[in-house]
């Protein structure tokens, strides 16, 4: 039994728990209008007015003039996440933090009824902190993650064992975690919009549409996923995207990405850990955000390895006509040094 927990609008919820007068009002985290700051998070009320993460704060102020703006505090958010981590550890020792607001927990060999009760208890304890959490419960990480998306903002969706294909079949292909946007476009161009259609593809059809990943994609669309919950600690720091002078110059962007990758590698080494994946985020001059994650061939904390992975992602994401104004590199799926590489 695997549960996926997604803390809904985490930064917003923490700010409202600190200051209840902000509840119900449009709220924007990231700083004050003026300068070159970007929106880090926006409440539903602000999003209804067209405010999104990555949007320049000045533009956000125009779109939502009644919004409250707060600087935000990474230390406060980390402390709130640590309180959630303590709650989870009262129920299981196998916790895989994906990010500061997202985690998998392994409830095996708990029976379904006991697992549901455990998740309900966790939801209640997290709610006592003033936070909302969406939970998905299933036999695999992939299905649990999809289920939690349908449970937003504070619900629980339990997918019974054996019902995974039936649960996934009517859902849009975009709900599949990690779906490459280019593959998604090819599927839609072929008239494939639902996961059930993907699951019915032959190996040849899947390969034609998604390349070498086609067969894996078809299995995932049917709910087949053997990935285990691997213990990964809560991040001890948050690496914010660093603003740069807007540019589309490849050399300048490669230099910026290399510096951020080395900083991320240093952060991993300080923690005595190894990274299993790396994420590169590019924020463009128009405020739009693009993010891609790549698994590493083996866990690493070396500058050269993480730098090469980040530059490979940049090469795949870079478009000569788009100006980049902020770059971020983070590592995920961390293994502590005492877990040893041969366990991976």
| Residues facing 294 on adjacent strands | 278
What does the block give as tokens for 73? 């505090």
Distance CA 43, CA 22 (A): 10
Q: What is the mean pLDDT of residues 226-241?
A: 73
Say whether the peptide bond before residue 149 is cis (omega within 30 degrees of 0).
Answer: no
| Residues facing 280 on adjacent strands | 292, 329
What does the block give as tokens for 212? 């070498």
Q: Regarding beta strands 273-284 and 335-336, do their DSSP bridges make them parallel or antiparallel, or are they unpaired? A: antiparallel
What does the mean pLDDT of the chain come to?
Answer: 88
Residue 297 has pLDDT above 70, yes or no: yes
Please give the DSSP secondary-structure letter assigned to residue 46. H
Q: Which of 45, 71, 102, 125 is catalytic?
A: 102
Q: What is the mean pLDDT of residues 76-91?
A: 93
What backbone phi and psi angles, to 5 degrees, belong to 299?
-55, 140
Annotated active-site residue 125? The verdict is: no
The confidence band for 320, taking pLDDT boundaries of 50, 70 and 90, is low
Determine which of 97-101, 230-234, 276-280, 283-287 has the lowest per-residue pLDDT on average.
283-287
Residue 39 has pLDDT above 70, yes or no: yes
The confidence band for 72, taking pLDDT boundaries of 50, 70 and 90, is confident
Domains of the chain: 1-6+87-231 (3.30.70.270), 11-70 (3.40.1170.60), 242-343 (3.30.1490.100)
Say whether the peptide bond before residue 153 is cis (omega within 30 degrees of 0).
Answer: yes
């Amino acid at each position: 039994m695997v549960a996926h927990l997604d803390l809904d609008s985490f930064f917003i919820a923490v700010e409202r728990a600190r200051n209840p007068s902000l509840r119900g009002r449009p709220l924007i985290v990231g700083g004050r209008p003026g300068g070159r700051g970007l929106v880090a998070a926006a409440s539903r009320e602000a999003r209804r007015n067209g405010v999104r993460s990555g949007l320049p704060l000045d533009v956000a102020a125009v779109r939502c003039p009644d919004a409250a703006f707060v600087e935000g505090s990474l230390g406060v958010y980390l402390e709130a996440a640590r309180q959630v981590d303590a709650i989870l550890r009262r129920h299981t020792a196998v916790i895989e933090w994906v990010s500061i607001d997202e985690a998998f927990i392994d409830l095996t060999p708990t029976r379904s009824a006991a697992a549901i009760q455990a998740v309900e208890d966790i939801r209640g304890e997290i709610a006592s902190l003033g936070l909302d959490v969406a939970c998905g419960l299933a036999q695999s990480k992939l299905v649990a993650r999809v289920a939690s998306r349908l449970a937003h903002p504070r619900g629980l969706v339990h997918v019974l064992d054996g019902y995974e294909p039936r649960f996934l079949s009517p859902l849009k292909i975009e709900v599949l975690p990690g779906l490459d946007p280019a593959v998604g476009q090819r599927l839609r161009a072929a008239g494939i919009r639902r996961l059930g259609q993907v699951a019915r593809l032959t190996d040849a059809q899947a390969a034609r549409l998604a390349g070498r990943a086609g067969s894996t994609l078809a299995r995932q669309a049917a709910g087949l996923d053997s990935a285990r919950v691997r213990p990964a600690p809560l991040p001890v720091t948050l690496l914010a995207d660093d603003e740069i002078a807007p540019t589309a110059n490849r050399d300048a962007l490669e230099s910026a990405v290399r510096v951020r990758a080395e900083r991320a590698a240093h952060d991993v080494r300080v923690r005595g850990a190894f990274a299993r994946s790396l994420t590169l985020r590019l924020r463009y001059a128009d405020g739009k955000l693009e993010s891609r994650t790549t698994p590493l061939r083996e866990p690493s904390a070396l500058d050269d390895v993480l730098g090469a992975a980040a530059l490979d992602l940049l090469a795949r994401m870079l478009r000569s006509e788009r100006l980049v104004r902020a770059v971020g590199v983070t590592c995920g799926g961390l293994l502590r040094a005492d877990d040893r590489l041969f366990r991976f």
